[in-house]
Chains A and B, each alone.
Chain A
Amino acid sequence: AQSVTQLDSQVPVFEEAPVELRCNYSSSVSVYLFWYVQYPNQGLQLLLKYLSGSTLVESINGFEAEFNKSQTSFHLRKPSVHISDTAEYFCAATPRSGYSTLTFGKGTMLLVSP
């Protein structure tokens, strides 16, 4: 079984500031890693995922996450946030082999203010 820890329940930032949302995972097997985002009054949607290859993955709206195996982390970053990035962000993991469902972290609420 795997577990996902998001250390910050809420991260307030000003517009155009950089942000990092932290995610650590624990698993006895290799995992795939995901970030999902939930905008107000909408369903969760995939932001980006790490499956293999380059440890740095990017989304279409400027977010990036880096897989760090030694630190068992998959932190999400953006160099300059917008008001529209205000949302809850969930880190998730699933084993690479066999079938298993996604295990989510508790989420981090990103609050961007002008």
Chain B
Amino acid sequence: DTGVSQDPRHKITKRGQNVTFRCDPISEHNRLYWYRQTLGQGPEFLTYFQNEAQLEKSRLLSDRFSAERPKGSFSTLEIQRTEQGDSAMYLCASSEDSGNTGELFFGEGSRLTVL
């Protein structure tokens, strides 16, 4: 396993369309996170899974956003009815279950451009 992988790396879509991003974490990691990063900002937390359970969601995650991790392995992040303000880099990270001290391993991100 070479690390966290994300697909697609770049998505260009028109406003109002739906998009889905996929994240494959490091195989032995049971925690998975989604972050969003916009230009000039650090990563902002969106949501977090422990195995298949979604344990926390940020207020940034509006009703148009949904994330799943159906079998506790890969995860998907879907954005419905995209808006220009959704343009950002969407980062996925995974970690072992080691409390707050553990290292997060990040993928290279999926860049979304909404026209």
| Nearest opposing residue in chain A for B45, CB measure | A101
| Nearest opposing residue in chain B for A93, CB measure | B100
Q: Are B40 and A94 in contact (CB under 8 A)?
A: no
Using a CB-CB cutoff of 8 Å, which residues 77-115 of chain B contact chain A? 91, 93, 99-101, 103-109
Give which listed residue, A43, A49, A51, A104, contacts B109 with CB less than 8 A.
A43
Q: Are A44 and B106 in contact (CB under 8 A)?
A: yes
Q: Does B70 contact A (CB under 8 A)?
A: no
Give which listed residue, A100, A104, A107, contacts B100 with CB less than 8 A.
A100
Contacts of B105 in A (CB 8 A): 43, 45
Interface centre among A32, A49, A99, A103 (most CB of B within 10 A): A99
Digitize A71-114: 1 where CB-to-B-CB distance is under 8 Å, 0 elsewhere: 00000000000000000001010111001111111110000000
Contacts of B101 in A (CB 8 A): 32, 49, 51
Contacts of B100 in A (CB 8 A): 32, 94-96, 99-100
Q: Which residues of A contact B (CB under 8 A)?
A: 4, 6, 9, 32, 36, 41-46, 49, 51, 90, 92, 94-96, 99-107
Q: Which residues of B contact A (CB under 8 A)?
A: 3-4, 33, 40-45, 48, 55-56, 91, 93, 99-101, 103-109
